[in-house]
Structure 1
Amino acid sequence: MIKRVRYYIFLKDVLVLALSAFGGPQAHVALMFDLMVAKRRYLSEEDLIELNALCQILPGPTSTQTVTAIGFRIGGPNLAYLTLLVWMIPAVTLMTIAGITMSHLQSQNMSTEFTKFIQPMAVGFVSYAGLKISKKVIKTKTAVVILLLSAIGSFLFRSPFVFPILILAGGAFTAFKYKSQPIEEKDRIKIQWANFILWAGFFVFIAALGGVTRYLPVRLLENFYRSGSLIFGGGQVLIPLLYTEFVEFKRYLTSEEFLTGYALVQSVPGPVFSFCAYIGALSMRGFGFGGQILGALVASIGIFLPGTFLIFFVIRFWEGLKKYRIVKASLEGINAASSGMVITAAVLMFLPLDPNLQNILITIGTFAVLAFTKIPAPIIILVGLGAGFVL
């Protein structure tokens, strides 16, 4: 009974975070420190730092995996899955509504001109994310070279299949520098393969099912599951892959719709990966209201599930794995390649916009506000929307 009460309180705390955590993974983790370490003492500060570090080296949404891993530590897989649902549902619901609303406005031939300012603002957000990530992870000449090669490669070869290749190549390149990492005494690693087999098996199953049926919801599930399985670095790094696949490659969304959705997700609390619900809803607009709900649902399941399977798999033997120098060394290249793709994403997202003075100034102005002030992202987006309605 005591355990059940504790689990209920924990899930209530997760809901509080889901409704108040603005600002991306770094801000989310800061709030976790305040609520789950300082106030509730679910785990120690060192435990939270370590869990967050583990989630940063795994593909998938960092803050989502971190809060899910905390649930796993407290109550095992069942509580962890409930934690995932409580954390993602508010943001996913809001972004699903945003996607359906956008589709409805267009079907009624209603103007979406009120979004004209937040589209270049979205480019400013991505540009700032690129700078922020680069400053954090680019510390050597090798990382600079990988960043540049990744940026050039992702610009020249605009295929969703290029991104995982660039990430894996970056990690493999710096893995050769493992001798520069300190040697730690290692214990024998005991690996439980169940969740890895679940992750890989589902990957193969939906890919095969999508290839056979060609049914759009199944193909969407495969697209997002693949993205969630291969993206390192959080929501900002996911953006270039989504833009390439759903705007340039498959043309399910226009560039304007994508930019509007990305700007809107900055004003929504919770995980940035909830943006996928918006994309899923718009990708299924031809199937009516029910189809859009289904699109948002499969997109959300696809993007969140692989990271959950992987954190369940790795957390059981992380203590031993983190002592291997080659694992530590590969992170430099993975992070550098991811940073290069975010920088290119800002360029690709600006290209379809009219390159007039207004859009250029709004992009630069948004970047400057984010870089030199502490104005919260939701306030910036609301100002942009308000200006669009008025003007």
Structure 2
Amino acid sequence: MTPRPSFREIFLVFLRLGLTSFGGPAAHLGYFHDEFVYRRRWLTDAAYGEVVALCQLLPGPASSQVGLAIGFLRGHYRGALAAWLGFTLPSAILLMLFALGLGLWPGVAEGGWVTGLKLFVVAVVAQAVWQMGRTLCPDARRRGLAILVAAFLVVSGSAVMQILALAVAGMAGLVLGIPRDQASGELTLPVQGRRPMVFAVLFAALLLLSFWPLATGTLPWLAAEMYRSGALVFGGGHVVLPWLQEGFVASGYLSADTFLAGYGAAQAVPGPLFTFSAFLGASGNGMAGAVIALVAVFLPGSLLVFAGLPLWHWVRNHDRARSALAGVNAGVVGLLLATLYDPVWTSAVKGSGGFALVILLWGALAVLRVPVWVLAPLSAGAGALLF
């Protein structure tokens, strides 16, 4: 095992990743594996696999949680903070500046380039559904469960119904006995005392508090919406879209055009997609809103990592618990499929020209493997020329 790195070393390693990790959560996990297993040998292959498995089972941004866990394993709580700051700040700052720019020149958000970005989002979410479906729904039972969840949420897609659908999917996984591969038992965790329980209680208390009615648009409301989204999202990344759309577009806080323009911009920057929260927070609440939204959306996932690491020893050897979580993951695919229709498709595709561009963009992503950070500005340019 290599010597324990300093706060500065962990921060700089993750800062470089935060500046260069394009491609979304799946790509981030590949970058982490190359950096921390092969290059630096901070973890073995088996230990890294267990970290990824744990974070996939928890609500929140999976790739950011993996980075947080690696920072914790190498530098305890200071290391976790260094990892989160380094990986998150680059994209968060860029998206905050983008939101502030739209606030200064609101007419810019009405151009054809926004239409291009919205159509790009359709292709990105479609590709995410395809990839996640192949990974999380490898058999007929899980594919059927995902389709049922999608059909239900297309008709009744409120936040409460989304929570209910995922809970029912978890129970279905338990009843059906959906199999899960067993973890290796390689990971050794530096967790002692009662701190994990404190983190779990804090997570639950803040989640209950986030449901308290608050005036739309205020900073406490912003914090509550972000915390609730970060706490209830399984799969991270694109899956947060329906939760945030429910809170920020359906409530009238943002227009659908601005919301999807920001989400499209989030595809063009490196780092975690959850930094889209900085765009939403800065839209109407400036820099203070960006900071509050960013911290609030990442906080529940971070608390769950610290609380869940000891629990992993039990979950990885408990077949019924893993079957229930497999059902939840299948439900997540259905949730994202429903989101692909509404609001993504319904607000972006208005005619045959838009549909044709979506097909071309999806083909570039799925077949040609063109990076999203290349396609995002190209989509904006095509929109400006065509719409």
Of 215, 218, 223, 1:216 maps to 218
What residue number does 2:29 align with?
29
**% identity of equivalent residues:** 26
What residue number does 1:167 align with?
166
Does the C-alpha gap of structure 1 residues 207 and 358 become closer, same or farther in structure 2, counting only changes over 3 Å? same
What residue number does 2:47 align with?
47
Q: Partner of 2:105: helix, strand, or coil?
A: helix
Does the C-alpha gap of structure 1 residues 111 and 242 become closer, same or farther in structure 2, counting only changes over 3 Å? closer
Residue identity opposite 1:334 in structure 2: V
What residue number does 2:234 align with?
232
Q: What is the TM-score normalised by the length of structure 2?
A: 0.90
d(CA) in 1 for partners of 2:184, 2:23: 38
What residue number does 1:265 align with?
266
The CA deviation string for residues 200-242 of structure 1, in whole angstroms up to 9 with x for no partner, is 222334544xx36777111111111111111101111111222
What residue number does 1:308 align with?
302
How far is 1:120 from its partner? 1.1
Unaligned runs of 5+ in 1: 286-290
d(CA) in 1 for partners of 2:241, 2:182: 36
Unaligned runs of 5+ in 2: 186-191
Does the C-alpha gap of structure 1 residues 7 and 372 become closer, same or farther in structure 2, counting only changes over 3 Å? same
Matches within 5 A, 1:171-186: 171-178=170-177
Q: Partner of 2:22: helix, strand, or coil?
A: coil
What residue number does 2:207 align with?
203
Q: What is the TM-score normalised by the length of structure 1?
A: 0.89
Q: Partner of 1:12: helix, strand, or coil?
A: helix
d(CA) in 1 for partners of 2:114, 2:214: 39
d(CA) in 1 for partners of 2:181, 2:254: 47
Q: Is 2:344 the partner of 1:340?
A: no
d(CA) in 2 for partners of 1:193, 1:343: 35
How far is 1:146 from its partner? 1.5
Q: Partner of 1:17: helix, strand, or coil?
A: helix
Of 358, 362, 374, 1:363 maps to 358
**2:88–2:275: 8 Å Cα contact kept in structure 1?**
yes
How far is 1:363 from its partner? 1.2
What residue number does 1:137 align with?
136
Q: Is 2:132 the partner of 1:150?
A: no
Residue identity opposite 1:60 in structure 2: G
How far is 1:274 from its partner? 0.7
**1:184–1:324: 8 Å Cα contact kept in structure 2?**
no
d(CA) in 1 for partners of 2:219, 2:180: 45
d(CA) in 2 for partners of 1:113, 1:386: 8
The CA deviation string for residues 91-126 of structure 1, in whole angstroms up to 9 with x for no partner, is 1111111112122221x6785333221211111111
Q: Is 2:256 the partner of 1:255?
A: yes
Q: Partner of 2:280: helix, strand, or coil?
A: helix
**1:206–1:218: 8 Å Cα contact kept in structure 2?**
no
Q: Is 2:122 the partner of 1:119?
A: no
Matches within 5 A, 1:65-84: 65-84=65-84
How far is 1:352 from its partner? 2.5
d(CA) in 1 for partners of 2:84, 2:101: 26
d(CA) in 1 for partners of 2:177, 2:375: 43
d(CA) in 2 for partners of 1:307, 1:277: 16
Corresponding pairs, count: 377
d(CA) in 1 for partners of 2:178, 2:370: 43
d(CA) in 1 for partners of 2:270, 2:307: 28
Q: Partner of 2:93: helix, strand, or coil?
A: helix
Does the C-alpha gap of structure 1 residues 109 and 255 become closer, same or farther in structure 2, counting only changes over 3 Å? closer
Does the C-alpha gap of structure 1 residues 357 and 37 become closer, same or farther in structure 2, counting only changes over 3 Å? same
**1:147–1:336: 8 Å Cα contact kept in structure 2?**
yes
d(CA) in 2 for partners of 1:93, 1:327: 39
**1:175–1:329: 8 Å Cα contact kept in structure 2?**
yes
**2:210–2:228: 8 Å Cα contact kept in structure 1?**
no
What residue number does 2:60 align with?
60
> For the aligned residues, what is the CA RMSD?
2.6
The CA deviation string for residues 163-194 of structure 1, in whole angstroms up to 9 with x for no partner, is 121112101111124496689999xx997411
**1:11–1:83: 8 Å Cα contact kept in structure 2?**
yes
d(CA) in 2 for partners of 1:124, 1:338: 18
Does the C-alpha gap of structure 1 residues 292 and 179 become closer, same or farther in structure 2, counting only changes over 3 Å? closer
d(CA) in 2 for partners of 1:165, 1:110: 35
How far is 1:319 from its partner? 1.9
How far is 1:144 from its partner? 2.1
**1:17–1:270: 8 Å Cα contact kept in structure 2?**
yes
How far is 1:4 from its partner? 7.8
The CA deviation string for residues 10-55 of structure 1, in whole angstroms up to 9 with x for no partner, is 2211111000001111111111111111111111121111101100
The CA deviation string for residues 276-334 of structure 1, in whole angstroms up to 9 with x for no partner, is 1112222xx2xxxxx32122222111110000000000112312331111121012211
d(CA) in 2 for partners of 1:22, 1:183: 30
The CA deviation string for residues 332-376 of structure 1, in whole angstroms up to 9 with x for no partner, is 211111101111111111212352111111111111111101211
**2:210–2:225: 8 Å Cα contact kept in structure 1?**
no
**2:116–2:384: 8 Å Cα contact kept in structure 1?**
no
**More divergent stretch after superposition (196-205 vs 44-53):** 196-205
**More divergent stretch after superposition (213-222 vs 309-318):** 213-222
Q: Partner of 1:176: helix, strand, or coil?
A: helix
**1:159–1:245: 8 Å Cα contact kept in structure 2?**
no
d(CA) in 2 for partners of 1:9, 1:190: 28
How far is 1:136 from its partner? 1.1
What residue number does 1:288 align with?
none
**2:102–2:109: 8 Å Cα contact kept in structure 1?**
no
